């Protein structure tokens, strides 16, 4: 099962919710933040409680979650479950 919040987070994910490859492809199309952008967004979140900044920070780290989840594939858990748990951690 692919994380169900993908549409709510604005991934533009239009594939079948059971298609992990489509989800990973959508995540890989998300832009990476520069250090300066990340610091600016973190300050906006901290100082102004800006939820748009929080969303941008979370979206920018979904690719990292997929990468880390890939490293745990040999432990017997489905890739989608590993990604979902990582997304919950964000």
Summarised one tens digit per residue, pLDDT across range 26-48 is 999 999 999 999 999 999 999 99
Is the predicted pLDDT of residue 6 greater than 60, yes or no? no
Per-residue pLDDT band at 18 (split at 50, 70, 90): low
Looking at the predicted structure, is the pLDDT value of residue 58 above 60? yes
Each residue of 61-79: pLDDT tens digit?
A: 999 999 999 999 999 999 9
d(CA 47, CA 31): 24
Per-residue pLDDT, 1? 43
């Amino acid at each position: 099962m692919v994380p169900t919040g993908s549409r709510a987070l604005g991934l533009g994910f239009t594939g079948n919710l059971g298609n992990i490859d489509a989800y990973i492809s959508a995540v890989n199309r998300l832009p990476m933040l520069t250090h300066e952008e990340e610091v600016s967004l973190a300050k906006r979140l901290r100082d102004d409680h800006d939820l748009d900044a929080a969303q941008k920070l979370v979206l920018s780290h979904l690719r990292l979650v997929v990468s880390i989840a890939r490293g745990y594939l040999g432990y017997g858990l489905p890739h989608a479950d590993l990604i979902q748990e990582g997304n919950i951690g964000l």
